[in-house]
Amino acid sequence: MDGVTHEVGKWDLLIAHPPCTHLAVSGMRWFKEGRKPMRLQDQAADFFMKFINADCEHVAVENPVCIMSTRYRKPDQIINPYQFGHKQQKKTCLWLKGLPKLQETNNVYCEMMKLPEKERTAIWQMGSGHAKERSKTFPGIAAAIAEQWGEYLEELEE
C-alpha cells in the first residue's frame, strides 16, 4: 500500500512494513536538532496510521521501537530475531488488529549471548548507507508470520 487508493477489493490480511526513517527513535535527534523538518515525521506517522485504519479485519504493522508508541499506542508485541532462530538482537514492534501474538519458534538467546556484542548487534553496526539491509525481515520471523497467521486465518474460515 503506497498511500494511494487502489481498487483491489477487500483484503483478508494486511501486513505492513512502513518506512521507519522518520519514525524510529534512533533518528529522533535529527528532528530535535532541527536538521530535519517535523513535517517529515508527521507525514510518516500519517502513513503508518493509514495501515492501522485500513478497512481490513486482520492487520499487522511492523516497525522498530518508534514514536508511534506515544503518538498512537504501545505495540501489542515486541519480538527479536533470536526468538526465531537468528543469533541477532533487533527489537521489532508489532501493532496487531484481529491477529494473535507470534509465538517464538526457536529461541537461541543463550547461544547468541555467547557471541561478542559486535556480532550479535551486527545489524546496528552497519552504519549509514545500509538502511535496506537493516530493514529486511529475518527469514525465521517471516516463516513464523506465514505459518502462524496463515493457520489462524484458515481456522477462522472453517
Question: What does the pLDDT look like over 10-41, one tens digit per residue?
Answer: 788 999 999 888 788 777 777 677 778 888 88
Evaluate if residue 110 carries a pLDDT over 70.
yes
53 assigned to some structural domain: yes
Report DSSP state, residue 81: G
pLDDT of res. 34: 74
| Residue 73, number of CB atoms within 10 A of its CB | 10
9 assigned to some structural domain: no
pLDDT of res. 63: 94
Dihedral of alpha carbons 5, 139, 94, 87, sign: negative
Residue 89, classed as helix, strand or coil, is: coil
63 assigned to some structural domain: yes
Evaluate if residue 1 carries a pLDDT over 50.
no
150 assigned to some structural domain: yes
- pTM value is 0.88
Name the nearest CA neighbour of 81 among 127, 41, 119, 27: 119
2 assigned to some structural domain: no
Residue bearing the bigger pLDDT, 80 or 7: 80
87 assigned to some structural domain: yes
Cell output for 94: 508489532
**Average pLDDT value for residue range 85-98:** 95
Report DSSP state, residue 137: P
pLDDT of res. 125: 64
Are 80 and 92 spatial neighbours (Cβ–Cβ below 8 Å)? yes
- Quote the domain boundaries for residue 32: 14-157
3 assigned to some structural domain: no
Rg (CA), the chain: 17
20 assigned to some structural domain: yes
Q: How many domains does the chain have?
A: 1
Q: How far is CA 29 from CA 11, 25, 60, 151, in A?
A: 37, 8, 27, 41
Q: Which range, of 71-75, 123-127, 138-142, averages the lowest pLDDT?
A: 123-127
Distance in angstroms (rounded) separating the CA atoms of residues 20 and 18: 6
**Average pLDDT value for residue range 61-81:** 95
